Structure 1
Amino acid sequence: MSGRGGGISGRSQGGKTRVKTGRGRSTSSVRWLERQLNDPYVKAAKAAGYRSRAAFKLKELDERFDLLKDATRVVDLGCAPGGWCQIVKERRPKARVVGVDILEVEPLPGVDLIMGDIRDEATAEHIRTLLDGRADLVISDMAANTVGHKQTDHLRTMGLIEAGLEMALEILEPGGTFVAKVLAGGADSQLLMRLKQRFKTVKHAKPPASRKDSSEWYVIAQDFRPETAG
């Protein structure tokens, strides 16, 4: 394997690939490359034709919580590069699937893709139009770009989770499910309170495919209860 500004050479030590530091390559980037080369989920995703190792996270969450059971309409927020959409179509081939991201996503068979921000009304309207009904499941693997400041990163991430929840509350059918990526410690108290008001069960989980050194967890809110008038 070669790279710009100096080759990447590797050698196996104890079954693991070691990456040498090349000219212009930081120690952190070398660690990232080593982790990718030695990650069994990365290898498994490539072998299965999945676009990302994150596909296994949804697989594992589905096996634990039956997220995709009987799902007919699914919205994937922050869907790039498309791994979660692939799992939805694999397990529910006839389901209507709408994927949304601010990044462009390569076309996926049977998936309606929207390039836009879910906080924009035009994007929200586009989602509603493509769904042509209420969703059984809203899944979100959205993550804010980190800036290295813990409080700022937390606020940015919580803002995305709240935007995802607002979308879910608007488009879910009664009994529906909302799944979202959160940081270590799970959803904060205010968000957790909102979830518990609108969903019968709210749990946190860290699927095995989520790296042990990652701060990500997932909140799984099931059995949506719409607000009643009066």
Structure 2
Amino acid sequence: MKTQTKSKKVNKAWLNDHVHDPYVRLAQKEGYRARAAYKLKEIDETLGLVRPGQVVVDLGSCPGAWSQYLRRRFAPKQAGVGGAAVGELQGTIIALDLLPMEAIEGVQFIQGDMREDGVLAELEAAVGGRPLDLVVSDMAPNLSGVEVTDAARIAHLIELALDFAQQHLKADGALVAKVFHGSGYSQLVEAFKRQFRVVKAIKPKASRDRSSETFLVGIGLRQSPSR
């Protein structure tokens, strides 16, 4: 009963924080599906990663807030209003997630597990050999609470994103990936540094203070893949 009571208190506290969260309210006002849109927005505004005309892959895209943000950035000024922008699209967005995602006009969505060869092949077919300007990854595993196990699961997803980026990014392209401080974090930073010329760690204001998440950004491949 004590555990149940504690769980209820935690859920109530989270709900209270969520309801009063300024980014939740802003997302509702501006038509984003989740407050996560403002994390990518701050990263983009800090580093200037997103530009109309690019080819971008959004990994771990559900519920679609990052794809929405990208969609708006690729929309002509007059179309970039409302929920997910509609009308003309200056760029290409390919999104992938395990979970189903409500359609966003102009965004090609693939549902599946990137760890499966068939799904990865489908994603690569959608890319169609085009060099990517940007890969964004909000992928996160189901956490068990066992630090060593969780660190391994997180590292595996980051390795998948790094490998995909290495194979498909332009020489001056960028990867944005969610990571968590804790066991294995320094190794992930080193993995980014081995692959990219510039590596930055950013914790956006929209990322809750008590959350251990941060975002690693790698810009410019140290060695371009031979295509």
TM band (smaller chain): 0.7 to 0.9
CA deviations on 1:194-229 (whole Å, 9 max, x unpaired) are: 322321101101011100110000000001233578
Matched-pair contact (CA < 8 Å) for 2:55–2:134:
yes
The secondary structure found in structure 2 opposite 1:80 is coil
Q: Residue 121 in 1 paired to residue 117 in 2?
A: yes
Matched-pair contact (CA < 8 Å) for 2:139–2:178:
yes
CA deviations on 1:31-83 (whole Å, 9 max, x unpaired) are: 11101111010010011110100000000000001110355100000000000
Matched-pair contact (CA < 8 Å) for 1:198–1:227:
no
Q: Normalized per residue, which structure has more helix?
A: 2
Q: Percent identity?
A: 38
Match of 2:161 in 1: 164
Q: Give unmatched runs, 5+ long, in structure 2.
A: 76-89
Match of 2:141 among 136, 139, 144: 144
Matched-pair contact (CA < 8 Å) for 2:179–2:185:
no
The AA in structure 1 aligned to 2:155 is M
Q: Residue 46 in 1 paired to residue 43 in 2?
A: no
Match of 2:83 in 1: none
Q: Residue 130 in 1 paired to residue 126 in 2?
A: yes
Larger Rg belongs to: 1
For CA contacts below 8 A with separation 6 or more, give which structure has more relative contact order.
2
The AA in structure 1 aligned to 2:116 is D
CA distance in 2, matches of 1:187, 1:221: 18
Matched-pair contact (CA < 8 Å) for 2:52–2:73:
no
Q: Residue 80 in 1 paired to residue 62 in 2?
A: yes
Moved beyond 6 Å, runs of 4+: none
The secondary structure found in structure 2 opposite 1:124 is helix
Match of 2:14 in 1: 32
Match of 2:43 among 61, 81, 96: 61
The AA in structure 1 aligned to 2:32 is Y
Match of 1:103 in 2: 99
The AA in structure 2 aligned to 1:124 is L
CA distance in 2, matches of 1:148, 1:193: 24
Q: Give unmatched runs, 5+ long, in structure 1.
A: 1-22
85-94 or 97-106: which moved more? 85-94
CA distance in 2, matches of 1:198, 1:148: 30
The secondary structure found in structure 2 opposite 1:219 is strand
CA distance in 2, matches of 1:182, 1:207: 13
With structure 2 as the length reference, what TM-score do the two structures score? 0.85
With structure 1 as the length reference, what TM-score do the two structures score? 0.83
124-133 or 46-55: which moved more? 124-133
Matched-pair contact (CA < 8 Å) for 1:71–1:136:
no
Match of 1:207 in 2: 204
Match of 1:155 in 2: 152
The AA in structure 1 aligned to 2:33 is R
Matched-pair contact (CA < 8 Å) for 1:96–1:131:
no
Match of 1:13 in 2: none
Deviation at 1:152, TM superposition (A): 1.7
Matched-pair contact (CA < 8 Å) for 2:148–2:183:
no
Match of 1:184 among 173, 181, 194: 181
Number of residue pairs matched by the alignment: 206
